[in-house]
Amino acid sequence: MKRIKVMFFIYQMGGGGAARTLLNIVNNIDRERFLPVLVTLNYNGSYETNLKEDVKFIKLNTKRLRSAILPLAKVIRKESPDIVFSTIPNYNTIAILATLLSFTRAKNIVREAAYLGGDFKTNLKLLVYGMFYKLTSQVIALSDGVKENIVKRYKVKPNKITVIYNPVDLENISRNINDGYIPEKHRLIFESPGKVIVTAGRLVKDKDHHTLLEAFAKARKQVNIKLVLLGEGELQEELKLKAKELQIIDQVYFVGFQLNPYIYFQKADLFVLSSIREGFGHVLAEALATGTPVISTRCEPGAGEVLNYGEFGRMCEVKDTDEMASLIIELLNLDENSREALITKGLQRADQFNAKLIVKQYEKVFNQTLDQTKNRQARGADEG
């Protein structure tokens, strides 16, 4: 049986959530039925070493997105994929234009992970994205909230949108925990007295680490704790200054991007996400999979869906430092039975995002897209 060739396009296989999702799909897609090809711009991404060896990996000879349209179109012509799959609005647009200019029969499927919009300029931009999305065969939204936003702001019809949650590679997480280790320079954080809170994400405005630092400072008055921040970003120096102002700099550790964050999650006593908005909250599902209790803000729309609005982890209002501090104190003071019950529920929830299950949903969409095309062609031939 001829395998379906799927070309995955993203700017780079870097440390972001979109790249991690693509990595999980590419590595777990059924090789007996699908042939994956990965295309990026000319960057070296930290996840490249995690790609399975049988994945054909092509880098375009450009680092500029606008310059990628024609080179990508040439690659599409040469590789003749059945489907071109992309994620992130700007890159989706490039993939759609490149597919049109390739003059092939390849079908576009785009993934939308962001919960964008609000101001006039952004809403106008989303309408433009929506015009391109209407040219695709299918739009995949990573949560019900993201789907509602695509319908509302991009003006894409609901029947063109399929909701598929992010895949979490549980086997990879387990392997990283079993085979991984905390680097020696960070080991003392976990071995010295006091409980450890960990968070992970880019150090940018949307992640709202300011609120987390303030909540940590308040909780520290009642509990002996340390805070580990995994990730890099433009606000790092500003956040360090904030920690100094709050007089907690000696208990806050900026450890940067880590290829194996899961060992940090697993060794910590608590994971806290302080985001203002999250399309899904992938890192929450990963934290649950490591057996660590979680606290999250009610960042729309994804966190509530991941935690089922508080069933699988505690939730507080966005920017509410008092409520976050109170929950930190509560969870760190849980008795052993209550803590184990919370961990067990979290592990059960993480199983529902297992990459092997989620990727099958992607495979179904890929198959349906091609089946619909064949059916239309058959009807056209009959009518002719």
382, pLDDT greater than 90: no
pLDDT in tens, 360-381: 999 999 999 998 866 665 555 4
- For residue 79, which amino acid is it? E
> Residue 2, exposed/middle/buried by CB under 10 A (0-12, 13-18, 19+)?
exposed
User: Does 170-351 carry CATH code 3.40.50.2000?
Assistant: yes
pLDDT in tens, 213-227: 999 999 999 999 999
Task: Please state, rounded to an integer, the average pLDDT across all residues of the chain.
Answer: 93
State the pLDDT at residue 340. 96
State the pLDDT at residue 281. 85
The answer for 117, left when phi > 0, alpha when psi is -120 to 50, beta otherwise, is left
First to last CA, the chain: 29
| DSSP-based three-state secondary structure for 323 | helix
Domain 4-167+354-383 sits in CATH at 3.40.50.2000
Name which of 196, 217, 199, 222 is nearest 299 in CA terms: 199
Residue 225 DSSP label? E
Structural contact between residues 129 and 103, judged by C-beta atoms closer than 8 angstroms: no
Q: How many CA atoms lie within 13 A of 49 on its CB side?
A: 4
- Percentage of the chain modeled with pLDDT above 90: 82
Q: Could you give the CA distance from residue 98 to residue 34 in angstroms, rounded to a whole number?
A: 22
State the pLDDT at residue 222. 96
Q: Could you give the residue range(s) of every CATH 3.40.50.2000 domain in the chain?
A: 4-167+354-383, 170-351
pLDDT in tens, 313-362: 999 999 999 999 999 999 999 999 999 999 999 999 999 999 999 999 99
94, pLDDT greater than 70: yes
